[in-house]
Amino acid sequence: MNIVKRIFTKLVYPDGLCCVICSNELPKDSPNGFCEKCEPKRVKHYCEICGASLHNGLRKYCDGCLKRDLWYFGAARAPFEYADENVKKVVWKIKYGNKPYVAKLMAHEMAETVKRAGWNFDVVTYVPLHKKRARKRGYNQSELIAGHIGEAFGKPVVSALEKITYAKRTTTKLGREERIKSLEGSFALSGENVKGKTILLVDDVATTHATVNECAKMLRLGKAEKVYVITYATSRGDDPF
């Protein structure tokens, strides 16, 4: 599509009627925002615990979970692998590109993944941003996604956690052990009663799962019965062939 036609498409078609990656007009309203050319492959084989993508379909658990000492969540799932460049572009758009409408497109795929998992839960919550970062970004992308997922299932969305430490630099590029250490004590319960409830915890990406695990730990300390985790993207859980 040439630049003039692309601009015209953006003006005429509202968000969601053109591909979120290439801006080509979609043949019909696509609930996930991808055209056929740009649509990433979904995770078909995954770790039964953390949901990391497994390219070896005979395996049940990823390398990390085989040696992991403790997860505070019951299970985690994601529709896409974060290594896919188009998946990274979608995440970038909502986190750094000021494209909050992408939350609805992400939530559709995540809700479908939750349905396939067959999870039953009472409430939806999300990984919080520190107030300073939320003011800078203008919104919390995980909260926006959680809102759409809650609507899809007819479940209440609650603010069960708060981020109490502020890191000037993102932890995205830190290794697994560094992230775990940096996140210790960085979340707290917000006062929402989670006792006895099964909770669906929402975030955009889980690579090391350190953030969602720390959040799940706090929810379990608040006497939550069980925590499930849904993200838009996950890491690969076995060594490349």
Domain segments of the chain: what residues?
A: 1-39, 40-234
Looking at residues 200-220, what average pLDDT do you find?
Answer: 96
Give the integer Cα–Cα distance in Å for 101 and 42: 21
Residue 156 has pLDDT above 50, yes or no: yes
- Please report the pLDDT score of residue 43 as a whole number: 97
pLDDT band at 6 (very low <50, low <70, confident <90, very high): very low
Residue 228 region, left (φ>0) first, then alpha (ψ -120 to 50), else beta? Answer: beta
pLDDT, residue 204, reads 98
Angle, helices 85-95/141-153, rounded to nearest 10 degrees: 100
Residue 164 carries which side chain, given as an amino acid letter? I
Q: Are the CB atoms for 186 and 151 separated by under 8 Å? A: no
Q: Specify the pLDDT at position 70.
A: 84
123 or 12: which carries more pLDDT confidence? 123
CATH of domain 40-234: 3.40.50.2020
End-to-end Cα distance, the chain: 36
What distance in Å separates the CA atoms of residue 189 and residue 187, rounded to the nearest whole number? 7
Give the whole-angstrom CA distance, residue 235 versus residue 110.
Answer: 15
Contacts 24+ apart (CB under 8 A), 140-145: 141/94, 141/95, 141/100, 141/103, 141/204, 142/202, 142/203, 142/204, 144/94, 144/100, 144/103, 145/103, 145/106, 145/107, 145/110, 145/202, 145/204, 145/232
> Does the pLDDT of residue 210 top 70, yes or no?
yes
Write the pLDDT tens digit of every residue in 44-65: 999 999 999 999 989 999 998 9
Residue 234 β-bridge partners: 81, 206
Q: What is the mean pLDDT of residues 80-94?
A: 97
- Taking Cα atoms as reference points, which of 221, 145, 159, 210 lies closest to residue 182? 210
DSSP annotation of 155 reads -
